[in-house]
Amino acid sequence: MEVTIIGSGTGIPSKTRAYPCTLVKIKDKHLVFDTGPGSLRQLFLAGVTCLDIDHIYYSHFHPDHSLDLVSILFAMRYNTPKRTKPLYVTGPTGLKAFHDGLLSVFGETIKPKTFDLHLKEIDRGELTSDDWKIIVEPLQHSMHSIGFRIESLEGKTLTYSGDTDYCAGILRLARKVNTLILECSFPDDQKVEGHLTPRLCAQIASESQCGRLVLSHFYPVCDLAGKNNNHVLYELNNIYKGEIIFAEDFARFTV
């Protein structure tokens, strides 16, 4: 599995961080997790076109995680050469209503002409494919929020949290995973319900015994990728002893 952080930011504009989006490549398949505004262009800059995307998975439908579905469907309809392979879009309860709402506004401009669109709602359970399995758990954020654990045939594992608070669901998804990607929205002294802080992320990583922790989804007030954050890393390493990465846009690593 190859992972690319397409966007490591939030709904607040940033000069250095795009809206949330993560790309997972398994063999020749491109799996995209969340598509905040501008994700299609970010993917293009990372070398992935609208013709390459095979699956899109949504953790929830807040605008900063979902709005570029419109841009993606629009581009897939009018792109040359034409897209012919199917697109699979998966998300929690509300996905079909979300898509219907987009159709009510944008109409024919986002309806596929040359390929099939498959929508699937899931709040808990397993999704299986030839080359991977995905486990879905509900998380503590909005009314319908989910996280994903991706398991490849080779036994590699990756967890993507989307937005969440500390909860049993994220601990189950993260259990002994090779790489754990967690949202890290706010500083420890500015905790917001439904979101994580650096120390909570380290606590989840420690309790789950994951192999590597990747922190992403930084609000500007909690941007941990600067050069003067060794003290933050030191504090987190007192809780979690494994490797910690502060994500940046277009960061790429192998699981």
Helical residues (DSSP H) of the chain, grouped into ranges: 39-45, 63-66, 69-78, 95-106, 168-174, 198-208, 230-237
Give dist(CA 171, CA 149) in Å, integer: 11
Give dist(CA 62, CA 50) in Å, integer: 22
The pLDDT of residue 89 is 98
The pLDDT of residue 223 is 82
Give dist(CA 170, CA 30) in Å, integer: 24
The pLDDT of residue 225 is 62
* Burial tier of 130 (Cβ tally within 10 Å: 0-12, 13-18, 19+): exposed
Q: Are 167 and 193 in contact (CB under 8 A)?
A: no
Q: Who contacts 150 (Cβ-Cβ below 8 Å, separation ≥6)?
A: 1, 24, 26, 31, 132, 133, 134, 157, 158, 159, 160
Mean pLDDT per 10-residue interval, the chain, length 255 residues: 98 96 97 98 98 98 98 97 97 98 98 98 96 97 96 97 98 98 96 97 98 96 71 91 96 97
Domain residue ranges of the chain, discontinuous segments joined by +: 2-247+250-254
User: What are the DSSP calls for 133-148, one per residue?
Assistant: EEEEEE-SSSSS-EEE
Give dist(CA 59, CA 15) in Å, integer: 24
Give dist(CA 223, CA 219) in Å, integer: 6
The pLDDT of residue 226 is 56
The pLDDT of residue 46 is 98
70 φ, ψ (degrees, to nearest 5) = -60, -50
Using DSSP, state whether 23 is helix, strand or coil: strand
Side-chain half-sphere exposure of 139, counting CA atoms within 13 A: 32
Q: Who contacts 227 (Cβ-Cβ below 8 Å, separation ≥6)?
A: none
The pLDDT of residue 227 is 52
Give dist(CA 165, CA 194) in Å, integer: 4
The CATH superfamily holding the domain 2-247+250-254 is Ribonuclease Z/Hydroxyacylglutathione hydrolase-like (3.60.15.10)
DSSP state of 228: T
